[in-house]
Amino acid sequence: MQQLSIQHEKYSKLIKTISEYKKVAVAFSGGVDSTFLLAAAQEAIGENVIGITINSYALPRYELEETKKITNLLHIKHIIIDSFEIENEIKKNPVDRCYFCKKNEFQNVIDEARKNGFDVVVDGSNMDDKKDYRPGMKAKDEINVKSPLLECGITKAEIREFSKILNLPTWDKPAYACLFSRIPYGTEIKIEDLEKIEKSEKYFIDKGFKTIRVRCHGNLARIEIAPADREKLIQEPLATDIVKNLKNFGFHYITLDIQGYRLGSFNETMGA
C-alpha cells in the first residue's frame, strides 16, 4: 500500500486527508467506493477506523453478507445497525426520496459512531457522483458527513484502479444502488415489492449476470441488463426459466428493456 501512495498523487493526498481526522467511522455498504475508503482509512490511521452498516429493507441480504466478509478480510471492527422502519417521506417515494433516506441513515451512523468514540463520519461519495441526480448529497452536507474521495478529486475509474492494486475483492464489482431505486418515483415503496426485486436480482446474479437491475412496475418486471448480455437472456432454456422464477417471486409480466442497463434510469422521467 505504501508503494501506491508514492506512485499516485491522489492516493497520497487521500491518506494525508484521512490521517488528519485521527479517527473515522466509515458509512460502509460493501460497494466499490466504501470498501476502498475503508482500506485507505486503515492504511492512514490503522485501528482508529470502524465500518458502520445500516441493515434495512433497502439492502439485499447478500450485500449485507458481503459487508461482513470484507470487514473480516480487512480485520476492521464492523457495526451493523438494524433499521427496518420506512419513514413516511421515504415510503411515498418522492423524487427527493434519497435526501430523506440518506439523512435518516447518516444520522443513525453518526449516533452510533459517537457512542463508540468516533466524531468523524465519512462516506464513499466521489467525483462521478456529481454527474448524476443525487439528492442524498445535500443530506450528507447538512449533517457534516465528510467525503474524502470527493475532496481529493478521485473518480470511480481511479477507485477501481487503486482497489485492484490493493487486491481488494470489489475492484471489479458492478455498480450498485439501494433497492428503493428499482421503484418508480411516486409509487409507494412496499416490502413485498422489495422482496421480489431482491429475489429476482439474486437469481440473475446466481446465473452469472453481473450488471443487472430488475425495475418494479407493480406486477411487471422490467429487466435492465448489459447490452452484451441481451442475446443470452432471451435464449432457451434460460428465457423460460427466467419467466418461471420471476413469476414465482411475485411478478405477473416479465419484460426486457432493450436500452439495457443505465445508471438511475428512473431519473430519465423527471424532465417529463
Nearest to 148 by CA among 26, 50, 53: 26
Question: What is the number of domains present in the chain?
Answer: 2
DSSP secondary structure code for residue 155 in this structure: -
Residues 41 and 155 in one domain: yes
CA end-to-end span of the chain, whole Å? 48
Least confident range from 63-72, 83-92, 112-121, 219-228: namely: 83-92
Residues 14 and 40 in one domain: yes
Residues 68 and 97 in one domain: yes
Domain endpoint, select from 140, 165, 190: 165
> Are the CB atoms for 64 and 176 separated by under 8 Å?
no
Using one digit for the tens of pLDDT, what is the confidence trace for 19-32?
999 999 999 999 99
The answer to whether position 125 is within a domain reads: yes
Residues 117 and 214 in one domain: no
Q: Which amino acid is at 81?
A: I
Sheet holding 121-122, edge to edge: 77-82, 49-55, 24-27, 121-122
Percent of the chain at pLDDT > 90 equals 82
The answer to whether position 143 is within a domain reads: yes
Q: What is the pLDDT of residue 146?
A: 96
Please, how many CA atoms are within 13 Å of residue 34, restricted to the half-sphere of its CB? 27
Structural domain boundaries enclosing 59: 2-165
Chain-wide mean pLDDT for the chain? 92
CATH number of the domain bearing residue 193: 1.10.287
CA distance 245 to 249: 6
CA distance 208 to 120: 38
CA distance 50 to 14: 17
The answer to whether position 172 is within a domain reads: no
Residues 46 and 140 in one domain: yes
Residues 86 and 220 in one domain: no
Using one digit for the tens of pLDDT, what is the confidence trace for 134-190?
777 788 889 999 999 999 999 999 999 999 999 999 999 998 889 999 999 999 999
Element (H, E) at 253: strand 253-256
- The pTM assigned to this predicted structure is 0.90
Q: What is the pLDDT of residue 130?
A: 79
Got the DSSP string for 28-84? --SSHHHHHHHHHHHHHHTTSEEEEEEESTTS-HHHHHHHHHHHHHHT-EEEEEE--
